[in-house]
Amino acid sequence: MNLPAANPRKDRAAAIAEGLKGRDFLVLADFTAAELAHLLDLAAQLKALQKEGRPFAPLAGKTLAMIFEKPSTRTRVSFEVGMAQLGGQALFLSRSDLQLGRGETIGDTARVLSRYVDAIMIRAYSHRHVVELARAATVPVINGLTDFAHPCQALADLLTLREAFGRLKGLKLAYVGDGNNVAHSLIVGAAKMGLDVAVATPEQYAPHPAVMETARACAAEAGGSVTWTTDPAAAVSGAHAVYTDVWASMGQEDEAEARKAIFAPYQVNADLMAKADPQAVFLHCLPAHRGEEVTDEVIDGPQSVVFDQAENRLHVQKAILVALLGA
């Protein structure tokens, strides 16, 4: 009897998909490079289906609870639209809509919501609260942003880079500005995928040392590198991608004026972009404070892919939902 030939690649993908079912999506350090690559592949497939107008509704009958402690444009709209496109529905819950605002614990909220919904996405101030929510919940919890990490954004960034260059491994990515939550996820995700990551921040605003340690270990395993400097020109030199974020995030408004003076040398402008590779792209997670961390000339220029990047939030989050819910 002639048996069909085994397909190791298909079997491996199936094993990865099985391993993602029911997981939380809190930080990229929790996932292997193979798992992140699987999510990127799935996002690309889902994006292609949407562009072709082919309906795909594996989450029919599923509900996502969306908890927002912080306001949002991209996170709310992309998750809500993504669930609708996948056949499910999303439920928006601000802090004032929940008993959290009246003293109910995160744990009790997680246990109750787990009885009603199939997954929870939370956009919060404190990463500790998200970890506590995930610990108590019995359904997958997705980090939509905390003060420590922004993993959905980083996955969208990686998809955007892969679309722009056809690969990830071996690219040089320069991050310039504040070593914040966006930087934390980007550095680790890029390191896992084998990029050379150069980070430039003022000394007192460097990424968390534990993040840098994790990223360097990931880079060593993947054949990439992670470096830090206070010199933005050195970081950007020869880079295939230049990334920045706002200098004062939500909750840091009282520091905004002081930060402007500190971060002024880190503005991404035409002079700084000229030090990158001639084919380099510019990335920003948005919203942008034009005239501060980036000039109009750069963000509106031909090297900018910020709106592709914003669109890709939709596609990677659909991939995350499909994978975690085992659809």
74 is in an annotated binding site: yes
303 is in an annotated binding site: no
Catalytic residue among 24, 85, 118, 123: 123
Contact 222, 37 (CB under 8 A): no
Catalytic residue among 147, 313, 315, 317: 313
CA distances, 268 to each of 82, 232, 241 (Å): 32, 9, 12
Residue 229: which region, alpha, beta or left (left: phi > 0; alpha: psi -120 to 50)? beta
45 is in an annotated binding site: no
Tell me the residue length of the chain.
327
99 is in an annotated binding site: yes
Place of tokens 């914040």: 180
54 is in an annotated binding site: no
Q: Which two tokens stand for residue 261?
A: 């003076």
Cα 254 to chain centroid distance, Å, stands at 26
218 is in an annotated binding site: no
Vertex 55, ends 52 and 57: CA angle to 5°? 145
Contact 168, 218 (CB under 8 A): no
Catalytic residue among 127, 196, 240, 285: 285
273 is in an annotated binding site: no
Catalytic residue among 38, 127, 147, 153: 153
73 is in an annotated binding site: yes
214 is in an annotated binding site: no
184 is in an annotated binding site: no
Place of tokens 């079912």: 21
147 is in an annotated binding site: no
Could you confirm whether 245 is annotated as catalytic? yes
Could you confirm whether 313 is annotated as catalytic? yes
185 is in an annotated binding site: no
151 is in an annotated binding site: yes
Buried b (16+ CB within 10 A) or exposed e, 102-125: eeeebeebbebbbeebbbbbbbbe
Catalytic residue among 23, 38, 127, 150: 150
Catalytic residue among 245, 259, 267, 303: 245
155 is in an annotated binding site: no
Indicate the residue type of 284.
H
Buried b (16+ CB within 10 A) or exposed e, 50-78: beeeeeeeebeebbbbbbbbbebebbbeb
Q: Which residues are catalytic?
A: 123, 150, 153, 245, 285, 313
**Could you tell me which residues are annotated as the binding site for L-ornithine?**
181, 245, 249-250
**Could you tell me which residues are annotated as the binding site for carbamoyl phosphate?**
72-75, 99, 123, 150-153, 285-286, 313
